[in-house]
Amino acid sequence: MPHNKTERAHPDRDDPYARRLREHRDDLTDAMLRVLRFIDENRVVALASSAAELARRTRTSDATVIRAVQTLGFSGLPELRQVLTTSLQPGATPVTGMRRTLAEAGHNAGRAIATVLETSADGLKQLSSPAIRTQIGAAAALLHPAERLIVFGIGPSAPIAQYAAFLLRRTGRKAETLDRTGTELADQMLALSRTDALLILAYGPAYREVIAVLDEAERLGIPVVLVTDTPDPDIAGRASLSIQAPRGRAEHFALHGITLVCLEALVLALAASAEHETIATLERLDELRGAIGGTRR
């Protein structure tokens, strides 16, 4: 047990919010603690939430939210948001995220499974909120008129971008990916056209590839939808609109299940916007499979 406590406490040294929460725990009522734990476990959502929204999500009141934040020493929500934004900047690496996640799971396989399921359930609740549903609907409306959809994702997001493009093609859309890094990305970017629309999967702070793609999108006047869990202003501020798709708790091992659900919802919304083309494409797919003799779905 002492070993686990050491593992759990270690990451807080560079996390001012977690440190304040630990230091002031004895000063908090149960309702205040519920608010502050929700903020800790849903930092991206908290960044975009008003006191009233946080109160609704935690079944408390606006006044309780404000008192809870001030009890930690913050002057109010604006100062809290500054600290949360800093906590979402680089500092967490895959190895530190995994260490934190395994430490909190008690290095137990059963608890690790439960952590993934619980985190995913929380993410689905966030994705089902009216605000994020509206974001997905608005994204579908923005992307629908484009002649071709380009999905950008590199690193761990590259296979997800490829899957999204695959689904789009299956539902009658012309779709390609930007999934290379470094100078190889430049060759892919040559094919961008003014009649395209861009779907970007990007997390964390801005990096050179996503900045280059955004620069080219601006030059061509291409609409941009950003899917992220960390709204870096250097990226989100340049997108036409953003969808908040949580990848788990801040500074923990990243989980991509909610991103996949978000993308599947977006693809289905686009399919509903062009039902005739979607059905015609799938009917043609069946014909081609029949010619080949395959039965795969």
Provide the pLDDT for residue 100: 67
Provide the pLDDT for residue 9: 38
Provide the pLDDT for residue 12: 46
Provide the pLDDT for residue 90: 53
Residue 14 β-bridge partners:
none
Q: Cα(208)–Cα(219) distance, rounded to whole angstroms?
A: 16
Provide the pLDDT for residue 295: 58
End-to-end alpha carbon distance in the chain:
49
As given in the structure block, the two tokens for residue 14 are 């560079």
Provide the pLDDT for residue 162: 96
- What are 18-45's pLDDT values in tens digits? 888 988 989 999 999 999 998 988 777 7
Give the strand pairing for 224-228 and 196-201.
parallel
Nearest-5° Cα angle at 170, 254 to 174: 90
Strands (E), 37-195: 148-152, 175-178
Q: Cα(37)–Cα(2) distance, rounded to whole angstroms?
A: 23
Q: Model's pTM, two decimal places?
A: 0.67
Q: Cα(85)–Cα(109) distance, rounded to whole angstroms?
A: 32
In the sheet with 175-178, reading across from the earlier edge strand, the strands are: 175-178, 148-152, 196-201, 224-228, 241-244
Closest CA relative to residue 99, chosen from 256, 252, 249, 250:
252
Provide the pLDDT for residue 163: 96
Go through the domains of the chain in sequence order and give each one's CATH number.
2-87 (1.10.10.10), 127-292 (3.40.50.10490)
As given in the structure block, the two tokens for residue 145 are 């008129």
Provide the pLDDT for residue 2: 37
Q: Cα(216)–Cα(226) distance, rounded to whole angstroms?
A: 15
CA distances to 19, 22, 42, 69 from 64, rounded to whole Å, are 20, 18, 18, 9
Closest CA relative to residue 8, chosen from 119, 112, 102:
102
CA distances to 61, 104, 119, 147 from 33, rounded to whole Å, are 13, 19, 19, 50
As given in the structure block, the two tokens for residue 220 are 């061509």
Provide the pLDDT for residue 6: 34
Closest CA relative to residue 37, chosen from 53, 17, 51, 9:
17
The list of the chain residues with pLDDT below 50 reads 1-13
- What are 105-151's pLDDT values in tens digits? 777 788 888 878 888 888 888 889 898 999 999 999 999 999 999 99
At 224 the three-state DSSP class reads strand
